[in-house]
Amino acid sequence: MKTLLKGASVISGEGARRADILIDGEKIAAVGVDLPTDGARVVDVSGKLLFPGFIDAHTHFDLDVCNTTTADDFETGSRAALRGGTTTVIDFACPNKGESLDYGLSLWHKKADGRTSCDYGFHMTIDDWNEGIAGELDAMFEAGISSFKMYMTYPAMMIGDGAMYEALRALKARGGICGVHCENSGVIDSLIAHKKAEGAMDPSSHPETRPDYLEAEAVSRLLRIAQAVDIPIIIVHLTNAAALAEVDAARARGQKVYVETCPQYLMLDDTVYYDADYSKAARFVCAPPIRKKADQEALWKGIANGRVQTISTDHCSFTLAQKDAGRGDFTKIPGGLPGVETRGEVVYTGGVGTGRISLGDFCRVMSENPAKLYGLYPRKGALAVGSDADIVVYDPEKGHTLRAADMVANVDYSPFEGFETTGSISQVWLRGQLCVEDGKVLVEKSGKYLERGLCTL
Ligand code: DUC
Ligand code: ZN
């Protein structure tokens, strides 16, 4: 079955060009001006922008956090992703300390296989370092896992500097790459203890105990550890100008560093934590926390001048009832925000819509760079002959208002409630199948597990 998407602008990291796209089965068969119909079904997409399906390389579906489980599992989270133009997610398989990587991988396959509506892969979390884990790395690469995650905070998951050095050495030997959550755990714990002693238990204590410079300190330390290993590194969910300056310094001494940020750090500021209504403030609790307006601008500039490579969501959703667990103790608020359903339209609006970034920049951070970074390019991240026909049809003229009530994620609020979008997603194609049209999800659970190769960015 052939389909011809006719009359749109096709976007790549280089910018826009007028072209039609011919889909044959699951793949793109041709891209060019005025392609012949040749018996294909013709879909008129004139006036629209065609992007390679968005890739969200940072989701947490069906994850146990803070004595509860995320509101979105693979079924609801991936359906929300697809509705928002995301045709590939890479979620974090997360064995507990003491469990094997193989156990973690099998568990994540059980959570995801047969239930996921977009294509998916897994990063593997390394929260322990010993001979057993080291001995499992080759099998992880054979299973298509080429990227890993380590934490510099959260006692249940963090790994010390020495262990991180050893783990990075082992990854380097295999061409692997690692994303790291950077926050200074020890000082944050002390700041929390002081707030508790003062009786300052509201959500506003959350950002005050996790300041930007303690993220920057961890970024700086991680980058020196990566320097000792001589390995490229990814800073996940980087939030602020001081942390980005540490990346600039490492790059100036010749290190390869990739930076990911998230829509909440680009679009929201820390005044959200000071609402007198507990429920309104608690819904924004995530780590690292949302920062200042000046940090937003630094991140947008970083995208425009190529210092920030990708925007993922860190989608880790909890209902307002789950967020209620922290009334009277901000440390008990489960940390994380929903965002997988809104990333495309929010980033388009805040970036392209305001002129802060170009269409090419948008395509790079949403699709092309994550595909290269995580070993999926050019199967994903490109509208090119032979690539999977994962296509977002974006209508730049038809804005709308974001409302949680209209969304399919399993969560009763959106951090972007009431946000007016510039343009909207009108269709989403996954491997040649029209899966979303005008906000309706037409096809579910047809996602495939992706075995990934090495980073090519
Ligand atoms: N931060 C959050 O807020 N939630 C999930 C994991 C993380 O790093
Ligand atoms: Zn995360």
What is 2-51+382-399+420-441's CATH number?
A: 2.30.40.10
Q: Is the four-CA dihedral 313, 348, 367, 259 of positive or negative sign? A: negative
Q: State the average pLDDT over residues 235-259.
A: 98
Atom of ligand 1 nearest to the CA of 286: 3
With a 6 Å cutoff on the Cβ, whether 286 touches ligand 1 is yes
Give the model's confidence band at 66: pLDDT under 50 very low, under 70 low, under 90 confident, else very high: confident
| CA separation for the pair 421, 416 (Å, rounded) | 10
- Planar angle of CA 359, 182, 106, nearest 5 degrees: 85
- Around Cβ 379, how many Cβ atoms within 10 Å? 19
For the record, the structure tokens of 333 come out as 């608020």
| Element spanning 30, H or E | strand 27-32
- Closest Cα to atom 4 of ligand 1: 336
Asked if the model's pLDDT at residue 41 lies above 90, the reply is: yes
Tens digit of pLDDT for each residue in 164-222? 999 999 999 999 999 999 999 999 999 999 999 999 999 999 999 999 999 999 999 99
Asked if the model's pLDDT at residue 366 lies above 90, the reply is: yes
* Phi-psi group of 151: left, alpha or beta (phi > 0 → left; psi -120 to 50 → alpha; rest → beta): beta
Give the model's confidence band at 380: pLDDT under 50 very low, under 70 low, under 90 confident, else very high: very high
| CA separation for the pair 84, 87 (Å, rounded) | 9
Q: State the average pLDDT over residues 100-108.
A: 98
Give the model's confidence band at 334: pLDDT under 50 very low, under 70 low, under 90 confident, else very high: very high
What is 53-373's CATH number?
A: 3.20.20.140
| Owner of token pair 């579906």 | 61
With a 6 Å cutoff on the Cβ, whether 182 touches ligand 1 is no
At 428 the three-state DSSP class reads strand
Question: What is the location of CATH 3.20.20.140 in the chain?
Answer: 53-373
If one residue of 65, 237, 314 were mutated to test the ligand 1 pocket, choosing by the most ligand atoms within 8 A of its CB, it would be: 314
For the record, the structure tokens of 325 come out as 């667990």
Task: Give the pLDDT score at 105.
Answer: 98
248 close to 238: Cβ distance less than 8 angstroms: no
342 close to 416: Cβ distance less than 8 angstroms: yes
| CA separation for the pair 148, 122 (Å, rounded) | 9
439 close to 161: Cβ distance less than 8 angstroms: no
Task: Give the pLDDT score at 430.
Answer: 99
Interstrand relation of 233-235 and 177-181 (parallel, antiparallel or unpaired): parallel
Averaged pLDDT of the chain: 98
| Owner of token pair 């009786």 | 199
One-letter amino acid at 118 equals: C
350 close to 402: Cβ distance less than 8 angstroms: no
Task: Give the pLDDT score at 34.
Answer: 97
User: Residue 145: which residues within 8 A CB-CB, separation 6 or more?
Assistant: 93, 105, 121, 122, 123, 124, 452
Ligand having the closest approach to the CA of 58 = 2
Question: What is the location of CATH 2.30.40.10 in the chain?
Answer: 2-51+382-399+420-441
Asked if the model's pLDDT at residue 52 lies above 90, the reply is: yes
- Around Cβ 4, how many Cβ atoms within 10 Å? 22
Q: State the average pLDDT over residues 137-154.
A: 98
| CA separation for the pair 160, 164 (Å, rounded) | 6
| CA separation for the pair 324, 345 (Å, rounded) | 29
Q: State the average pLDDT over residues 365-388.
A: 98
Q: State the average pLDDT over residues 423-434.
A: 98
With a 6 Å cutoff on the Cβ, whether 343 touches ligand 1 is no
DSSP string, 130-178: SHHHHHHHHHHHHTT--EEEEESS-TTTB--HHHHHHHHHHHHHHT-EE
- Closest Cα to atom 5 of ligand 1: 336
CA of 223 to the centre of ligand 1 (A): 21
If one residue of 56, 58, 60 were mutated to test the ligand 1 pocket, choosing by the most ligand atoms within 8 A of its CB, it would be: 60
With a 6 Å cutoff on the Cβ, whether 287 touches ligand 1 is yes
One-letter amino acid at 345 equals: E
Name the pTM for this structure: 0.98
One-letter amino acid at 111 equals: K
234 close to 148: Cβ distance less than 8 angstroms: no
